[in-house]
Structures are given as structure tokens and as C-alpha cells.
């Protein structure tokens, strides 16, 4: 699936929810689907500075493509990471 199709699917998923609380619940549920980041990458080297939450992002080149992993100590931020990785990977 290409990036535009993934983005369209995410927009469609969010359109199913009319209430913002339901959208937040959906983002929280996405945090559970985020693949675990390598514990060795939960270090200051991979920490995104300036965030109120602690967010770690790592990138790896495989077969000529960049793949991302991420983690956060905040559940909503972790769900947003899941969305970004879904689009970027």
C-alpha cells in the first residue's frame, strides 16, 4: 500500500468517530499496536528534544528503505507515533 493510500485509510478510520473522546480512545488503542523499540535505543541518543513527553525514535536502513521504530512514556504520544510509523514505513 502506498503512502497516500495509508493516509487515506487513517483519515477514513478517524471519520468513523464523531466525538473527540472516541478519537482519543482510538489513538490510545493504537499505542498498543506500536512494535516495541529496541531497549538499547531508549537512550538520550534517540530522544526527541523539546517534547513534553519522552519520545524515542530510531531509524534503520533495510533493503534500501528506511524503517522507523519509536516509543514514548505518554500513551497518546505513543499512539501518534504508531500513526506516523504506519505512514512512514
Q: Which residues are identified as catalytic?
A: 51
Q: What count of other Cβ atoms lies within 10 Å of the Cβ of residue 83?
A: 19
Q: CB neighbours of 44 closer than 8 A, spacing ≥ 6?
A: none
Q: CB neighbours of 5 closer than 8 A, spacing ≥ 6?
A: none
Amino acid at each position: 500500500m502506498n503512502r497516500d493510500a495509508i493516509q487515506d485509510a487513517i483519515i477514513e478510520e478517524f471519520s468513523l468517530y464523531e466525538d473527540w473522546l472516541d478519537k482519543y480512545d482510538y489513538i490510545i488503542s493504537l499505542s498498543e499496536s506500536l512494535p516495541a523499540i529496541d531497549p538499547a535505543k531508549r537512550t538520550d541518543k534517540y530522544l526527541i528534544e523539546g517534547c513534553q513527553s519522552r519520545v524515542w525514535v530510531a531509524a534503520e536502513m533495510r533493503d534500501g528503505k528506511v524503517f522507523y521504530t519509536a516509543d514514548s512514556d505518554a500513551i497518546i504520544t505513543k499512539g501518534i507515533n504508531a500513526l506516523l510509523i504506519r505512514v512512514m514505513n
